[in-house]
Chains A and B, each alone.
Chain A
Amino acid sequence: MLSEAFVSVLSVRRAEYNAQFSAARRVAPELDEAAFQAFLLTSVEPLVSAVAAVDKAALVEVVDVAYGIGLELLAQRLAGPRAHGPALDNGFQQLFPALAGFIARAPGALLPRLCNALQQLSSVPGARPEEWSRALARLASGAESAEQLLGLGQVLAWLAGLAHYRSGALSLCRSLPPRLVSAAFGVPEVELQATLSRLDRDPWFVPSAPGLGFRVVGSVGSFRGFGGAFLAPPRVARAGQQLFVSSADDAWLLALDAFGCTFHRARPEELAGASFDIERAGVSVDAAQVNAFGQRLPLADKGPVTSVVGNLNTLLFTTAHSYAVNVVALQESS
């Protein structure tokens, strides 16, 4: 049931909203009236109620923006009952009410961006939008402005699996309030500089679990028939410190660290001069184990190794038994 606050805004703006809906449906005929009503009721309502509780004067602007965004999202089936996934609806229902104070002050600046971030997190395999939402809702009270909130969101997006933003996020960490960043990493503020220095050097360092060391992190990718990216058994390669995986006629650049792994289409020039070796001395893989730093790690996948490469921090290998790429963190135990 719609709250009184929401009903009052909808009543005041009824003609405008109806016109917007009709116009949007002409552009996107698949926009469904019942689905949109359901979206307003289940997803926008919690935000409106939360905003009404903090700042009634902002209600009209917030509803204006949320209504317009809702039309865009439902037209693309990104939210509402017929959406491809629940991320955006969850955002409206759980995250946005927690950020009501910020959204009330700048709905036009925040809502589209937060929706885009949620959409990106939910569309990248392996990323964790729920973790991002929970962390942002938990830590938002430490931000003093919408800009700080957005910066915090970017750092948390990296920690929630968007590994390709690692470099940008680490730079951002140095411009955000230390209190906010140390809370994001779960470390005391006094240890923040040391943590950031270590993160700069070591992609496998986890601030909340610093002693993990040399380990098999897991595997990434799978056969296209099972929803993965690989049409044929993958092979790995490297160009400098960049790691690549190819399968049939496709190739990807892998951005990976302790928090996630993302695939990005490789350009031919990036693969020019690629090598197929292990840069770090003393590291090797055989059918049953990985050897490095005087340790032997047993492997669950005991198939013949079909390709193996490694840069200074990471070892990748594939076997004849799987379409996955195995990832090993070359991190010396501290």
Chain B
Amino acid sequence: MAIKGFFTRLSSAPTNPGKPAAARVFDIADLYRGPVAERQAALDAEGLPLDEKLRQAYFWIVNTAIISPHYDIEYNDTPAAAFTLGDSKSQLTLPTAQSYSSFVLLPLLTFATRRKCLFIGGPGRGKTASAILMGVLAGYSVRDVKRAMQHGQPQMTIADLLGNPLPSDLVNAKSMDDIRIAWRKWLGLRVKIIDEYNRIPTRTQSALLTVMGDNYAELLDHIYECPESAWYFTANDDQGGGTYQVIEALRDRIDVVVQALAFNSRFLHDLLLRVEENARPEELVPRQVIFSESEIDRMGEEIRAVELPPEVRRRVEFFSSQFEFCELAAHQFEYKTKDTVRLSGVDWLTVVGQDSGRDRLKDLGCQTKNGLSVRALMTLLHYAKAMAYFRGSPQVGLDDLRQVLPFVLHDKLTPDPDAPFFEAPGNAPLRADRIGWLRRLFDDSAAEYDRLNLDREDPVARLSEQFQLGLNGIGESDVRSRLARIETLIAELARGKKLYGHLYDDLLVLKYLHHRYTNYLRWVATQ
């Protein structure tokens, strides 16, 4: 029981004590809590809030199951101590608030939100083991999870992936409807694992894309509706080093990318213990942290209910507005986007080479070759909410957003390695460090937002809010005054001469508002 107890021991709740209630209450049940672990499993876990249960699961995984001493998701409630090390002046910071290991937390948030997570990293670093743990958290046995795992390999066919028509039906059937399909069991699981997904042939990837994107499988005109699932993919190399190039649409549907970091040799004794005791943590998951289907449903609802305050939303808007704009992509204002360049097939360097008017070092948009898709933004909001939920917060904080953003945008924002930013002193490592680069990008965007004082002075936001109140009952003179205000504001913005991504978005909003008011004015005139 002792060794089993070691592997099944859970962290005491609350795992992330928030700001305590004003009036202190001493719970007499605490008399029986202490250094001796409870023998009656699930005695304490019943009735725990789901966010607490999720934290219990996280701490069980990091403390017991996965040896990952990498706290790369750092939170601070007071200034962190920082140390400068090495010739490259590397910074080591010691976070002052509860911080997390992305390799465990992001997959867990994926589990809670039923989205799609890609593990990348060299062989033998625990990518598949982590994915299996997520399956066990959903209530499946290790055996079922392993059997349901799809192993990518060059000969994998659509039938291997989805299922087969019954041979007798193929011979006897008079119509397609008569053919019964033996669907593969993994399609019905709520946690789906695709191991080494970049070894799957392109054609089979397309079938996988349908299941991923639309949540159904199709064979011979027969449809299998899959349940809402969390997906986990693994890849040894995410940069095209697999047997097959992963189709872009499939990559785009992956919500977060987490890297399995290197094993720290100081933890070899933990490995030794597992070898000697023949202990497999995935077989010792405490049942207190196993989630039922209804609990996962409820958790999803609770996550969606986490509030995203307007001031945080504005930061996301400002950040995302930096990247799509490409001044020299088109004549017409609406088409001045990087997507226009991409669709045209014009050489990227040719377009960028003509861009001589702006400070390309200062302009954050110059660091990327693309902008953010709607799907990427929705994913970002979803994970930011999940992160806040996990931390027991009723609303998303800027820090929550900052922490999840690099993992969500890892494969979504493509850096331009030739951008002046990467040539600047000290920035060269950011070409390889995608997470660090994205975090820096967000920090720079936040600094620019502060410099522009947009929290206090944001006339475009005021005009949008005014418009959101509705047009009913607004008189002609009011509308004309608003139109004049919009035109004045555009003129003011034009006075700066330089165009940046956030200005481009603001100008398009002003054009939109102007047009809506113009239409309304025409309608008012007919009344």
From 112 to 164 in chain A, residues with beta carbon under 8 angstroms from any chain B beta carbon are 112-117, 119-120, 150, 153-154, 157-158, 162, 164
Please indicate the chain B residues that have their CB under 8 angstroms from the CB of A26 in the complex: 3, 273, 276-277
Please indicate the chain A residues that have their CB under 8 angstroms from the CB of B3 in the complex: 19-20, 23-24, 26-27
Q: Of the listed stretches B31-39, B441-449, B490-498, name the one at the interface; the rest are far from the partner chain.
A: B31-39
Number of A-B contacts (CB under 8 A): 104
Please indicate the chain B residues that have their CB under 8 angstroms from the CB of A172 in the complex: 28
A302 contacts the other chain (CB 8 A): no
**Complex CA distance for A19 and B2, rounded to whole angstroms:** 9
From 10 to 40 in chain B, residues with beta carbon under 8 angstroms from any chain A beta carbon are 20, 22, 24-40
Q: Is the CB of A78 within 8 A of B35?
A: yes
The chain A residue sitting closest to B5, CB to CB, is: A68
**Complex CA distance for A168 and B25, rounded to whole angstroms:** 9
Task: Tell me the smallest distance from the CB of B281 to a CB of chain A, in Å.
Answer: 14
Instruction: Decide: A27 near B2, CB < 8 A? Known: A116-B31, A153-B31.
Output: yes
B6 contacts the other chain (CB 8 A): yes
Q: Which of A27, A109, A119 contacts B39 (CB 8 A)?
A: A109
Interface size on A, residues (CB 8 A): 48
Please indicate the chain B residues that have their CB under 8 angstroms from the CB of A81 in the complex: none
Q: Is the CB of B1 within 8 A of A165?
A: no
**Complex CA distance for A277 and B3, rounded to whole angstroms:** 56
A249 contacts the other chain (CB 8 A): no
The chain B residue sitting closest to A106, CB to CB, is: B40
Q: Is the CB of B1 within 8 A of A20?
A: yes
Q: Which of B5, B6, B31, B277 contacts A120 (CB 8 A)?
A: B31
Instruction: Decide: A72 near B24, CB < 8 A? Known: A23-B277, A26-B276.
Output: no
A76 contacts the other chain (CB 8 A): yes
A71 contacts the other chain (CB 8 A): yes
Main secondary structure of the interface of A (DSSP, over half): helix
Instruction: Decide: A270 near B28, CB < 8 A? Known: A68-B1, A78-B35.
Output: no
Q: Is the CB of B39 within 8 A of A253?
A: no
Q: Is the CB of B31 within 8 A of A117?
A: yes
Q: Is the CB of A255 within 8 A of B26?
A: yes
Q: Is the CB of B27 within 8 A of A71?
A: no
A21 contacts the other chain (CB 8 A): yes
Instruction: Decide: A119 near B26, CB < 8 A? Known: A20-B3, A68-B1, A71-B2.
Output: no
A14 contacts the other chain (CB 8 A): no
Q: Which of A111, A169, A269 contacts B28 (CB 8 A)?
A: A169
A167 contacts the other chain (CB 8 A): yes
Q: Is the CB of A112 within 8 A of B277?
A: no
Q: Is the CB of B273 within 8 A of A164?
A: no
Q: Is the CB of B26 within 8 A of A164?
A: yes
- Per-residue 0/1 for B289-328: is the Cβ within 8 Å of any A Cβ (1 yes, 0 no)? 0000000000000000000000000000000000000000
**Complex CA distance for A255 and B26, rounded to whole angstroms:** 10
Task: Tell me the smallest distance from the CB of A225 to a CB of chain B, in Å.
Answer: 28
**Complex CA distance for A107 and B6, rounded to whole angstroms:** 20
A176 contacts the other chain (CB 8 A): no
Q: Is the CB of A69 within 8 A of B36?
A: yes
A267 contacts the other chain (CB 8 A): yes
Q: Which of B1, B28, B34 contacts A115 (CB 8 A)?
A: B34
Q: Which of B20, B36, B40, B273 contacts A27 (CB 8 A)?
A: B273
From 62 to 89 in chain A, residues with beta carbon under 8 angstroms from any chain B beta carbon are 64-65, 67-69, 71-73, 76, 78
Q: Which of A19, A117, A168 contacts B27 (CB 8 A)?
A: A168
Task: Tell me the smallest distance from the CB of A84 to a CB of chain B, in Å.
Answer: 12
Instruction: Decide: A253 near B24, CB < 8 A? Known: A68-B2, A117-B31, A154-B31.
Output: yes
Q: Is the CB of A72 within 8 A of B22?
A: no
From 168 to 217 in chain A, residues with beta carbon under 8 angstroms from any chain B beta carbon are 168-169, 172
Further 7 A-B residue pairs, CB within 8 A, beyond A68-B1, A72-B5: A21-B2, A23-B2, A109-B43, A115-B35, A165-B28, A165-B31, A168-B26
Q: What are 15 A-B pairs at a CB distance below 8 A?
A: A26-B277, A27-B6, A65-B39, A68-B2, A68-B39, A71-B2, A107-B39, A111-B39, A116-B34, A117-B32, A119-B34, A157-B31, A165-B26, A165-B28, A167-B26
Enumerate the 8 nearest inter-chain pairs by beta-carbon distance, A residue then B residue, closest first. A168-B28, A23-B3, A116-B34, A108-B39, A24-B2, A113-B32, A68-B1, A164-B26
